[in-house]
Amino acid sequence: MRHLATVLFRPRRTMARILEAPNARAVLLLFVAAAISGIAGDFDAAVVEQIASDAGTRILWIIAGAVLGVLVALVLLFWFYSWVPLLIGRFLGGTGDIHGVRAAVAWGLAPAIWALLYRVPAAIWTSQAATTSVRMAEGTVAFDPGRFADGCGVMLVFAVLEVIVFAWTVFVMSNTLAEAHRYSPWQALGTLVLSAIIPFAVTLAAVLAFL
C-alpha cells in the first residue's frame, strides 16, 4: 500500500525500489484491482436490480458469471499485452525485460486502482441507464431529464474525475515504464502511444486483407 500511494507522486523513484525485487504476485493483484476498477466504472446497480426484478434472481448468477469472465479476460489481457510495450520499448532503445516491464505497467495503473474510491459509490448510487427522453401523448409533452435529474453537477464531477484519472495514469505509467526500460519518460510516452495504436492497426490491416 505504501508503494501504491508513493507511485502516484514519485513514480520513477518508487519504481526503482520495486524493480530491485519485482513481485509477480503483487503484479497479478494490481492487474486484478485495475480490472475491477474498470468494471466498476461501467457497472450500473440500478439496471442489475431492475433486471433481477423482471427476470428473477437466476439472472443474477448469469450476470455474476459474465462479470467474472470479463474480469479474468481483462487480467489476461493486461498480463499478455505487457509484451507489446516491451518489444516497442526495445525498438526505441529500451533495455527492460518482461518482468520489469510487466511490473511497470501494473504499477502504472495505480491511479485507475485508486479510482475505485469514487467508481464504486457511483455505480451503486447513480444510474447510467437513465437517459433524457421526450414523450408525446394526447396533445401533451412529457420531458424526462433522466440522469440529469440527479444534477448536472454530479455528472460533471465524475466526468472530470475520469479525465484526471486517465491523464494521471498516462503520467505514472510513462515514468514507471521509463524506469523499467532505462530511458526518458518521453520515450516511454511514445512507447505507450505506439502500444495503443499498432495492435489496432495490425488488426485492421488483417481484417481488410480478408475482405
Question: Of the candidates 85, 90, 100, 57, which has an alpha carbon nearest to the alpha carbon of residue 197?
Answer: 85
- Helix 11-19, helix 152-181: angle, nearest 10: 50
Cα dihedral 160, 11, 177, 79 sign:
negative
Q: Mind listing the pLDDT tens digit for each residue in 193-206?
A: 998 888 777 777 77
Please report, as a single letter, which amino acid is at residue 111: P
- What Å distances lie between residue 18 and 13, 30, 48, 139, CA to CA? 9, 13, 40, 68
Residue 144's pLDDT band (cuts 50, 70, 90): low
Residue 140's pLDDT band (cuts 50, 70, 90): low
Provide the number of structural domains found in the chain.
1
Least confident segment among 77-81, 104-108, 132-136: 132-136
pTM of the model: 0.76
| Domain ranges, residue 131 | 2-210
Q: Mind listing the pLDDT tens digit for each residue in 158-178?
A: 888 999 999 999 999 999 999
Q: Mind listing the pLDDT tens digit for each residue in 25-43?
A: 889 999 999 888 888 776 6
- For the record, the C-alpha cell of 115 comes out as 479510482
Please state, as a whole number, how many other Cβ atoms lie within 10 Å of the Cβ of residue 60.
Answer: 14
